[in-house]
Amino acid sequence: MFVNKTHVYRFCFRFLPRISCNKRLSTQTTSSSEKIEDELHLEHTSDNFTRSIYDDHIQTSLLQKALLTIGSSVLSITDPYRHDMVAVLGETTGYVAAKQIKEKMTQDPEGSSILRDKPRINSDTLDYQFLESLPHGSLGHAYMAFLKDNNVTPDTRRPVHFVDDPELAYVIQRYREVHDLNHTLLGMPTNMLGEVAVKWIEAMQTGLPMCVAGALLGPVRFRKKQREKYLKYYLPWAVNCGSQAKFLMNVYFEKRWQQNIRDLRNELNIPDFPVES
């Protein structure tokens, strides 16, 4: 694909200053009645997320969202490691899927607790020493091992900017913050094979267009041996897991740190990964 990335970068980001300006203007012109309504809404939503999301929120029109979608999709395809563009694409295309995710969470006792409490997963909320002290085989200990082995932190997940509904913004933020926990729970590495397998499961369960695109387009970059493993082991397992496992967005991980990860997999009906021959 012959794409001048410099031109695309300019195309995508030339609108951000205008968007920020629109945000400031809209804030200045907000009527007192609208402010009262916003305050009442905030009182009914957990402060630990809703107030912070509006610090990061950037109001955009449909046209601006369309332009961001086009620019971020091109950049995501030409450079899959542009995680900032992947994040933008997820926000501008995920409205319908986020509503469906929220509905599934609302209908589940554990999922509705997550929506009510709005927990966050980052360095400010995690007790690393406690998680490391948990026994081998527990979810918390396995999660800490995953972070160390892959040299990542939960703080690498970008804040949501372009989702206008605070409840749906939290749903998208929650999806991002549990992604590494999904890797841990599923026992998938962070290489291309593992990432595509997790994307298949997330795509089947959440319907997020970004996940669907990752699942379908990710294998294009596989080498021959990777493609053989993918077709023989990873794809059948991922499809099976995505279809039969319980909805992973309903897992209140923060209340399950001490649970044995094997027991949790059985509870969630997650099939064992096939032994590679």
pLDDT tens-digit series, residues 186-217: 999 999 999 999 999 999 999 999 899 889 98
Taking the domains of the chain in order of start, what are their residue ranges? 62-268
Give every CB contact of residue 201 below 8 A, 6+ residues apart in sequence. Answer: 182, 186, 238, 241, 242, 245, 248
pLDDT for res 134: 97
Half-sphere exposure of 105 (CA within 13 A, CB side): 27
| Geometric angle at alpha carbon 240, from 186 and 118, rounded to 5° | 50
Low pLDDT (below 50) residues in the chain = 1-32, 34-46
Tokens at 136, concatenated: 């081998």
Q: 237 near 273, Cβ under 8 Å?
A: yes
Q: 176 near 157, Cβ under 8 Å?
A: yes
C-alpha closest to that of 199 among 253, 168, 139, 239 = 239
User: d(Cα 97, Cα 117) in Å, to the nearest integer?
Assistant: 21
Crossing angle of helices 5-13/62-78, nearest 10°?
A: 150
pLDDT for res 108: 97
Single-letter amino acid code for the residue at 247: F
Q: 162 near 88, Cβ under 8 Å?
A: yes
pLDDT for res 128: 95
pLDDT for res 94: 76
Residue 260 burial (10 A CB sphere; 0-12, 13-18, 19+): middle
Distance (Å) of CA 166 to CA 47, 75, 173 = 11, 27, 10
Q: 54 near 123, Cβ under 8 Å?
A: no
Single-letter amino acid code for the residue at 35: K
User: d(Cα 229, Cα 193) in Å, to the nearest integer?
Assistant: 8
pLDDT for res 244: 95
195 annotated among ligand-binding-site residues:
yes
pLDDT for res 73: 60
pLDDT for res 50: 53
Strand partners, 25: none
DSSP H helix total and E strand total for the chain = 17, 0
55 annotated among ligand-binding-site residues:
no
pLDDT for res 210: 86
pLDDT for res 25: 36
pLDDT tens-digit series, residues 160-190: 877 888 999 999 999 999 999 999 999 999 9
Tokens at 176, concatenated: 């991002």
User: d(Cα 195, Cα 217) in Å, to the nearest integer?
Assistant: 12
User: d(Cα 197, Cα 189) in Å, to the nearest integer?
Assistant: 10
User: d(Cα 211, Cα 181) in Å, to the nearest integer?
Assistant: 16
83 annotated among ligand-binding-site residues:
no
CB 67: neighbour CB atoms within 10 A? 18
167 annotated among ligand-binding-site residues:
no
User: d(Cα 82, Cα 9) in Å, to the nearest integer?
Assistant: 11
